[in-house]
Amino acid sequence: MINVFTKENFHKLCDGLAKKDKHLKNIIAQYGYPPMWQRKPNFETLIHIILEQQVSLASAKAALNKLKEKIGNITPKKLLKLTDEELKACYFSRQKTIYARHLAASIVNGELSIKKIVSASNDEIRSELTKIKGIGNWTVDIFLLMGLQRSDIFPIGDLAVINSLKKHKELPHHISREEILLLTERWKPHQSVAAMILWQAYIKERNIRI
């Protein structure tokens, strides 16, 4: 069975986590429930997440908006028609141009069908997407969490989530990945919701506009 969170159960799941974890409870008490960040499970969303790799949310959004201005609805075929210079004018780095082209080509060539994989298990989706150059576990985690609302994803590669976790649980800076994953076990099967609560704290504390 695939576990998901929905608009109907999201606050209830937040409350359940707050009962289990005083630090998450304190975040909700101080900043309120996080928004249920949601994106469509499509090609545009995967491009958006690729653009978000290692840059600010604002920079990635600016690049996505520039691409929309250029081609309208973002599709693999339209993207592949753009030259490297045109993508550069849309704020794509050389590396992200390569990644975006690989993703678009894999869909056009029939190697990947987003429509088909969205009903697959988390592991199956991860296996299919990480075959594409430039798509690693963090990109897959965000797609599963925001695009498909899978409820038990903890994006261990997300610096904002990790920094928020370290701050609110007063963890040592050098804590290992394994120790962090052990801590997040208690949030199962709703690690995604816990991640959103931690994002909420990170964003509010830095006055980041989404």
Q: pLDDT digits over 67-89, tens only?
A: 999 999 999 999 999 999 999 99
Structure-token pair, residue 29: 């008490």
CB atoms within 10 A of CB 7: 9
pLDDT, position 50: 98
Indicate if 130 and 71 belong to the same structural domain: yes
Are 29 and 199 in contact by the 8 Å Cβ rule? The answer is no
What does the mean pLDDT of the chain come to?
A: 96
Distances in Å between the Cα of 107 and the Cα atoms of 97, 111, 116, 118, 182 are 16, 6, 11, 14, 36
Find the CATH number of the domain harbouring 17: 1.10.1670.40
Indicate if 91 and 27 belong to the same structural domain: no
Indicate if 109 and 188 belong to the same structural domain: no
Q: Provide the residue range defining the domain that includes 76.
A: 43-147
pLDDT, position 27: 98
pLDDT, position 58: 92
Pick from 100, 131, 147: which residue ends a domain? 147
Checking if the pLDDT of 187 tops 80, the result is yes
Number of folded domains that form the chain? 2
Structure-token pair, residue 160: 């904002």
* Rounded CA separation 7/22 (Å): 23
40-65 residue pLDDT tens: 999 999 999 999 999 999 999 999 99
Indicate if 110 and 160 belong to the same structural domain: no
Confidence of residue 131 (pLDDT cuts 50, 70, 90): very high
Which are the contacts of 35, defined by CB distance < 8 A and separation ≥ 6?
196, 200, 210
pLDDT, position 2: 86
pLDDT, position 129: 98
Work out the percent of the chain whose per-residue pLDDT is above 70. Answer: 100
Q: Is residue 174 part of a domain?
A: yes
Q: Is residue 107 part of a domain?
A: yes
pLDDT, position 41: 97
pLDDT, position 201: 97
Which are the contacts of 43, defined by CB distance < 8 A and separation ≥ 6?
74, 75, 76, 103, 104, 107, 114
Indicate if 104 and 165 belong to the same structural domain: no
Which are the contacts of 183, defined by CB distance < 8 A and separation ≥ 6?
165, 169, 171
pLDDT, position 1: 76
